[in-house]
Amino acid sequence: MKIERTDDSTYTIPRQGKMRVPGVLFADGRLYAGIDDGACLEQLMNVACLPGIVEASMAMPDIHWGYGFPIGGVAAFDMEEGIVSPGGVGYDINCGVRLLTTGLEKDEVQPRIRELIDVLFAAIPSGLGSHHREFRLSEKEMRAVCERGASWAVSKGYGDRGDLAHIEDLGCIGGADFEAVSQRAYERGKDQLGTLGSGNHFVEVGYVDQVIRKTQADQLGLYPGRVVVGIHTGSRGFGYQVCSESIEDLMPATRKYGISLPDKQLVCAPLKSPEGRRYLGAMACAANFAFANRQMITHFLREGMEAFFRRSAGELGVRVVYDVAHNIAKIEEHEVQGRRQKLCVHRKGATRALPPGHPLVPESCRNVGQPVLIPGDMGRYSYVLVGAPGALSRTFGSCAHGAGRVLGRNQALKATQGRRIEDELSRQGVYVRAAGRTTLREEFPQAYKDVADVVRVVEKAGLALPIARLKPIGVIKG
C-alpha cells in the first residue's frame, strides 16, 4: 500500500483501488514503527471503500486489529447514501469509561489499599459470565433500562440525579427500539446489570499523580494526590448478542442492496433502510444498558466505600467526573466542506472529544470541554483530557480511547508463561484482584502501548488537551 507521512502526527493513505476517500492515521514515527503488521492498516483502507463515507477513513494512535473496522477506527457516513455497520461499533456496544473523584487523599488510602480492593471485589460481581446476586430484570424492566439508560438506575435508587449531569448524552441515547432485541439477547442480559465482566474491563483505584492544566483540572475536581476511581465496562453479554445477531441479520441486506464489500466482516445496510434502522434501534438499547451498568457499579462502589471507611458517600466526596462511550454509532451534525450535514459517526475504540462551548457537552462541564478519559494499563498511568477544536475539524469530534494493544491475548499468554503478574504489580505498588490469573496474564502492562505516547499524538494533532495524569494503586480485573 502507499502511505505518506503528512506531518509529525499524521500519516495518509491516498485513495487507491476501490477506496472512495483517503485513509488517515494519527501517529508519530514511534507509534507507526510499532505497527508490526499491515492488517489494521488494510482494515482502514477497507472502510474507505464503503458507500457514503465522508472525508476519510480515520484511525486513532491506539489502532490495532479488530472485527471489520480497526479498533481505534472512526468513520462518518452520509445519511442518504451511507451505511451503518456493526463492525464499526464492535461487539461490546458502548464499552466505556467512567471516572469518579473523591475527597480522599492518596496517603489516607494507600496503606489500606489491599483491604479496600478486597471489599470492592466482593461488592462488584466480576469475571467471565458474572451475574448479579440480587435480582434479574423482567422483560418490562429490561425494556425500561434499554429506553432510559442510566436514569432508570437512578430512579431505582442506584445513585442520584446529579450523576446524570456528568454522563455523555446524560446517560441515554435516543432511538432505542426494544422490539429489535431478541429473546436470546434479553436472556443473556437479564442478570448481568451491575456487573464488571472480564477481559480488559476493570475498576481501578488511583490518584492524581500530575496536574498538567490546573484551571481545567480544578474545574473537574482533580487535585494533586486526590484519590480517583475508574470504571471500564460495557453492555456485557446483552450487547454481544445484539451485535452477533445483527451481523447475521445484515448479511442478506448487504446482498439485497448490492453493496460490494472488500471484507465480509464489514457487513452493513443503508442507513435509511429498514434493516439499518433496526440495527440502530437495537444498538441504542445495548448502549443504554451499558450506561445503566456503569451507574449501578458506581452505586455498589459507593456502598463498599461507605462500609469500609464508615462514612457516607457524601462525606467521602465520591462523585462522577464524566462517563464516556466508545464503541458506538451516533447521528450527529458536522460541517462538511463548508456546510452543516447530518452524519452517522462510527467510533470503534474511539471516544467523542468536543471543545468548550459545544452544545452536545453537558452543561456541567461545557465551559471546560468534554472530558476525554484515556486509561492505560494496570502498571503505569491513565490520562484525563478535554476535547479541542481540532477534533471537530479533523475527526468529527473524536479521539483515542486507550493505550491500544501491541500483543494479542494468545501472544500475551505466551509472553507471561510461568510469571505471577499480581506479584510483579505488587512490587510496583499496585494491588490487583482478579476473577482468574489468565486474565491478568492477558492484560499484563506490556501487552499495551505506553499511553503517554498516545496522548502525545492526540495533543500534537489538536484533538484533545491533557489535563491530569492518574496512577493506579489498586485494580479489580474481570
Three-class HEC string of 106-156: HHHHHHHHHHHHHHHHHHCCCCCCCCCCCCCCCHHHHHHHHHHCHHHHHHC
Helix H or strand E encompassing 282: helix 274-309
Q: Which grid coordinates belong to 289?
A: 444498558
In the predicted model, is pLDDT for residue 74 greater than 80? yes
Q: Which grid coordinates belong to 187?
A: 436472556
Interhelix angle 139-148/274-309, nearest 10 degrees = 90
pLDDT in tens, 197-249: 888 899 999 999 999 999 999 999 999 999 999 999 999 999 999 999 999 99
**Structural domains of the chain, ranges and CATH numbers in brackets:** 4-477 (3.90.1860.10)
At 131 the pLDDT is 63
In the predicted model, is pLDDT for residue 293 greater than 80? yes
* pTM score, whole prediction: 0.96
Classified as helix, coil or strand, 346 is strand
53 or 477, which is more confident: 53
Stretch 388-409: mean pLDDT: 93
At 129 the pLDDT is 58
Residue 175 to residues 129, 178, 250, Cα–Cα distance (Å): 28, 10, 19
Stretch 321-333: mean pLDDT: 97
Q: Which grid coordinates belong to 316?
A: 467521602
Q: Which grid coordinates belong to 329?
A: 454509532
Quote the Cα angle for 320-434-65, to 5°.
Answer: 80
Calculate the average pLDDT of the chain: 95
CB 61 within 8 A of CB 453: yes
Query: 127-136, 156-165, 412-421 — which is least confidently predicted?
Result: 127-136
CA dihedral 133, 139, 144, 146 (to 10 degrees): 80
pLDDT in tens, 345-365: 999 999 999 999 999 999 999
Q: Which grid coordinates belong to 273?
A: 433502510
DSSP structural state of residue 181: S
Question: Which positions are catalytic?
Answer: 401
pLDDT in tens, 149-183: 999 999 999 999 999 999 999 999 999 999 999 99
Residue 158 to residues 193, 294, 298, 303, Cα–Cα distance (Å): 12, 10, 8, 10
In the predicted model, is pLDDT for residue 255 greater than 80? yes
Q: How far is CA 51 from the centre of its chain?
A: 26
CB 375 within 8 A of CB 403: yes
Stretch 61-81: mean pLDDT: 96
Stretch 24-28: mean pLDDT: 97
At 130 the pLDDT is 61
CB 367 within 8 A of CB 215: no
In the predicted model, is pLDDT for residue 127 greater than 90? no
Quote the Cα angle for 383-465-203, to 5°.
Answer: 20
pLDDT in tens, 449-469: 999 999 999 999 999 999 999
At 132 the pLDDT is 62
Helix H or strand E encompassing 390: helix 389-395
